[in-house]
Homo-oligomer: A and B are copies of this chain.
């Protein structure tokens, strides 16, 4: 009864560098984060990019990002709102997100 036991998110100081780096070592996952840099997005909207990817796979991507503490994933009407935990990340690992996403990489 205690306020929905929604999806688990690590607290700011539980965010592990290892998990963050691991989560962001995948181009698809980085792409999701890139889309969230400018603000929250509904999941449907956000990863509309690749329609060929099954829902369960997309969901798994989000799970890895969420459990690493990179994004927040909360119910929003009938879909899910995804938010980059920028402040938490910046406070915990200053400059990291910047460095990773200003990297203009060639075809990964």
Contact = CB atoms under 8 A, between A and B. Distances in A.
A13 interface: yes
Nearest to A107: B16
Copies of this protein chain in the complex: 2
A9 to B, nearest CB: 18
Given A93-B99, A103-B96, A108 B17 contact: yes
A59 interface: no
Contacts of A25: 18-19, 21-22, 25
Given A22-B22, A25-B22, A17 B94 contact: no
Given A16-B105, A17-B103, A25-B25, A95 B93 contact: no
Interface of A: 13, 16-19, 21-22, 24-27, 30, 92-96, 98-100, 102-103, 105-106, 108
